[in-house]
Amino acid sequence: MLAVSRGTQVMARRAGFFRDVFSVGERAVRSVLRDTETTIPAILIPVFMYALIVGALQDFAEQIPGMNYRAFQLPVAVLFAVTGVSRAITVVTDIQSGYFDRLVITPVNRLALLLGLMLADFALVMALTVPVIIMGAVTGVWFATGILGVLAFMFMAGLWGLTYAGFPYAIAFKTGNPAAVNISFLLFFPFLFMTTLFVPQEQMTGWLSRVADYNPVTYLLAALRSLISVGWEPDVLLKGLAATLAVGVVSIGLSLAALKGRATRR
C-alpha cells in the first residue's frame, strides 16, 4: 500500500547554512511573486507621493538657487518604495498556522529562517527601485554619475529597505500579530519627516534642523541625491552607507533577538 519503506535509515542531516538560506529564500521569492497585492502599493505610493510633493512645492522650492526639485524628490520616492517591504507578514501567518513550528523542528539553521526571507526582500526592493528610476527618467531626472551611479543608487536604496525590514521582522517574531506588523510602517514617519524631506538642510531652521542632524535618513538622502545631482562624493556616500548600516545594526539586532526568542524553547 505505502511506498514509504524502501529504506528505513533516517536520511536527515544538517543541510548547511547557505543551503538553508537558499531554501528558505526560494520559498519567500515564490510568495513575493504570488502576493502581487502587497507589491503593487509599493509601486503606486512613491508615484503618488512624488507627483504630490513635486506638484505642490516645485515652484516654491526652485526659488532656491540651483535647485532641481524633481531630482531632489526622486530619492524620497525611492525610500517610499523600499521602506517597510518585507515578508514579515508571512512570518506571522506561519506562526499563527503552526507552520513556523514545522520549520523549527527541522534541523534548519535558525538564522536562515530570517536571512532567507531577507534575501527575497533584497531582491524585491532592488526591483522596486527600477520603476522609480524610470519615473525619474520620464520626468527628466537623470544621474550625474551615469549608469554606475544608477546601480549605486539601487544598491543603497535596497540596503536601506533591507535594514528597515529588520523592524517589522522583530515585531513579527516578537508578537506574532499581523496588526502590529502592519503598523510598523508608521515607525518610518519620524525617520522620513524629521529630515530633509521637503527642503535642503540649509533651509531648515530650529529644532527640526537639529533633529535632522541626528536622523540617519538625512545622510542617506544626501548620498542618494549626490548620485543624481552632484557626482561621486565619497565622503557623502560613506556617511549615507554608515547611517544605513547603523540603523541595520539596531533593526537586524532586534529581529535576531526576537527570532531567538521565538525559536528557542522556553
Partner 1 sequence: MSGHANYDDAITTDGLVRRFGSVRAVDGVDLRVPKGEIFGFLGPNGAGKTTVIRMLITLLAPTSGKITVAGFDVMEDPVEVRSHIGAALQEAALDDKQTGRQLLRLQGRLYGLTGRQVKERISELTGLVDIGDAMDRLIGTYSGGMKRRLDLAAALVHRPDVLFLDEPTTGLDPISRSRIWEEVRGINRESRVTIFLTTQYMEEADALADRVGIIDRGKLAVQGAPADLKRARGVDLIVVRPDGDVEKAALALESVPTVSAIDAHDTELTVSTSNGAALISTVALKLNECGIGVRELTLRTPTLDDVFLQVTGARFRSAPGTGDGSVEEENPPRA
Which residues, 6+ apart, have CB-to-CB distance to 206 below 8 Å?
none
Instruction: List for the chain the helix, strand, coil content (%; round to 5).
Output: 75, 0, 25
Task: Indicate the residue type of 48.
Answer: F
Binding site for partner 1 (CB under 8 A): 1-16, 19-20, 23-24, 26-27, 30-31, 34-35, 93-94, 97-99, 101-108, 265-266
Minimum distance, C-beta of residue 128 to partner 1, in the bound complex (Å):
21
The three grid cell numbers given for residue 259, joined into one nine-digit string:
527570532
Angstrom distances, CA of residue 149 to CA of 112, 189, 232: 32, 27, 8
Q: Which H or E run contains 19?
A: helix 17-34
Minimum distance, C-beta of residue 92 to partner 1, in the bound complex (Å):
13
d(C-alpha 246, C-alpha 262), whole Å: 24
Burial 100-118 (b: 16+ CB within 10 A, else e): beeeeeeebbbebbbbbbb
Q: Are 150 and 137 in contact (CB under 8 A)?
A: no
* Identity of the residue, 29 or 217, whose beta carbon is nearer to partner 1 in the bound complex: 29
Of 177, 168, 166, nearest to 248 by C-alpha is: 166
* Identity of the residue, 90 or 244, whose beta carbon is nearer to partner 1 in the bound complex: 90
* Identity of the residue, 4 or 179, whose beta carbon is nearer to partner 1 in the bound complex: 4
* Identity of the residue, 51 or 104, whose beta carbon is nearer to partner 1 in the bound complex: 104
* Identity of the residue, 89 or 187, whose beta carbon is nearer to partner 1 in the bound complex: 89
* Identity of the residue, 108 or 172, whose beta carbon is nearer to partner 1 in the bound complex: 108
d(C-alpha 82, C-alpha 46), whole Å: 9
